[in-house]
Amino acid sequence: MITENTPKLYLSRRNLITLLSKLDRDNSGEDTACTIIKQQQTKSPAYRQTMKTIAVIAVQDEDYYGAQNRPAGEMHPSDEKKLHKPKTGVQYSGPIL
């Protein structure tokens, strides 16, 4: 549940596509840190991160879930079917925001 005190990070479509591009480049052997750094914007209250600076780091699925020795978590079926890779998660069992 998101509350007033829940830290908030806002990512635009451009941010998300950039992270996906970095993962693709990493997969192709290019040198990339797979990271974007978000700074808190002070000039506008719209979509203001609640932390001053945060690094958002994209990690390949195999590396992330392999290191945790667990499958991916639940995902809404509408989102899961848009993945290009076979399912790596668990069966959907309820509402996910």
The model's pLDDT over 48-95, given as tens digits with 9 standing for 90+, comes to 999 999 999 999 988 888 888 888 888 888 888 877 654 555 444 445
87: three-class secondary structure by DSSP: coil
Distance CA 83, CA 35 (A): 21
Give just the sign of the alpha carbon dihedral 61, 62, 67, 68.
positive
pTM: 0.74
Give the confidence band of 33 by pLDDT, cuts at 50, 70, 90: very high
- Enumerate residues 6+ apart whose C-beta is below 8 A from 62: none
